[in-house]
Amino acid sequence: DAKTTQPPSMDCAEGRAANLPCNHSTISGNEYVYWYRQIHSQGPQYIIHGLKNNETNEMASLIITEDRKSSTLILPHATLRDTAVYYCIVKNYGQNFVFGPGTRLSVLP
């Protein structure tokens, strides 16, 4: 009963923007979109989250479509250190995080 769908893998050239898509067509009105990433052999790292509006922080930008059925995580200038598995998670406050397989992003030199 996965709530999100992500491509299994993506490549991005170093220095270019990495755009990671996520489909969540069954999202409900109170559910937030969270993004985490997991660099090899490390714990998952929080990146960003949002409800309806686009969000930006020092790590990334989150673009949520108007119907909220999909979103895109943007890393504006990808570096080799951004190579990781990126997880898109939809949840309401109080619900547990459910991690799917995510997208394996490879940043290439």
Partner 1 sequence: DAGVIQSPRHEVTEMGQEVTLRCKPISGHNSLFWYRQTMMRGLELLIYFNNNVPIDDSGMPEDRFSAKMPNASFSTLKIQPSEPRDSAVYFCASSPGTSGRVEDTQYFGPGTRLTVL
- Closest to partner 1 by CB, 96 vs 109, is 96
Q: How far is the CB of 96 from partner 1 (least distance, A)?
A: 5
Extract the tokens encoding 89.
């998670």
- Closest to partner 1 by CB, 40 vs 109, is 40
- Contacting residues toward partner 1, per CB under 8 A: 34, 41-46, 49, 93-101
- Closest to partner 1 by CB, 79 vs 92, is 92
Q: How far is the CB of 108 from partner 1 (least distance, A)?
A: 24
Q: How far is the CB of 93 from partner 1 (least distance, A)?
A: 5
Q: How far is the CB of 67 from partner 1 (least distance, A)?
A: 24
- Closest to partner 1 by CB, 12 vs 102, is 102
- DSSP letters, 21-74, are EEE-TT--TT-EEEEEEE-TTS--EEEEEESSS-EE-SS-EEEE-TTSSEEEEE
Each residue of 48-83: b (16+ CB within 10 Å) or e? bebeeeebeeeebbbbbeeebebbbbbbeebeeebb
